[in-house]
Amino acid sequence: MEELRNLKQQIEQGELDAESKEKLAKQLEQMEQGLREMREERERAKEDLKRRIQDQKEQGDTAGAEQLQRQLDELEAGDQEMNRLERMANQLGRAAQSLKSGDNQQAASQLEQLAADLEELQSEMEQLETLDELMDELADAKNAMNCQQCEGGG
């Protein structure tokens, strides 16, 4: 995020020469392509899981199908984040195009928005980590309460 804001400032102040702008545009395009490929791979994995679930059901393996369905549910739970990554990829592409066309203000604006989105994403990830820690603590407490040896005494 800090680096994006530094780049934005350099672009706005005209501190990047034509060669640096071209290199930056290429890097932004590569990042955009990487995000798009990640999304496509995730979609392929979801389709593969759906196919495998159907195969398991046809074979009568409901336990196997349920396990695969849980994996699919986990992947689908991350769809909102993948949509956000898609938007970020679009911003990267627009920033790269703006740099190539010489529209420094538009490129700077796209980088600023991208930095803000990354900051929001980081905050959400931190909240999820905290929630995961709390869930682990709750599971530990539940397990301690069900302990046969100490009858919940710890």
CA torsion sign, 33 to 42 to 111 to 3? Answer: negative
Cβ contact 17:25 at 8 Å: no
pLDDT tens profile 56-107: 999 999 888 899 898 888 888 878 778 888 888 888 888 888 888 888 888 8
CA torsion sign, 44 to 45 to 48 to 50? Answer: negative
pLDDT tens profile 94-129: 888 888 888 888 888 888 888 888 888 777 777 767
Q: Tell me phi and psi for residue 147, to 5 degrees.
A: -65, 125
d(CA 80, CA 90): 15
Residue entry with tokens 């530094």: 6
The answer to whether the pTM exceeds 0.75 is: no
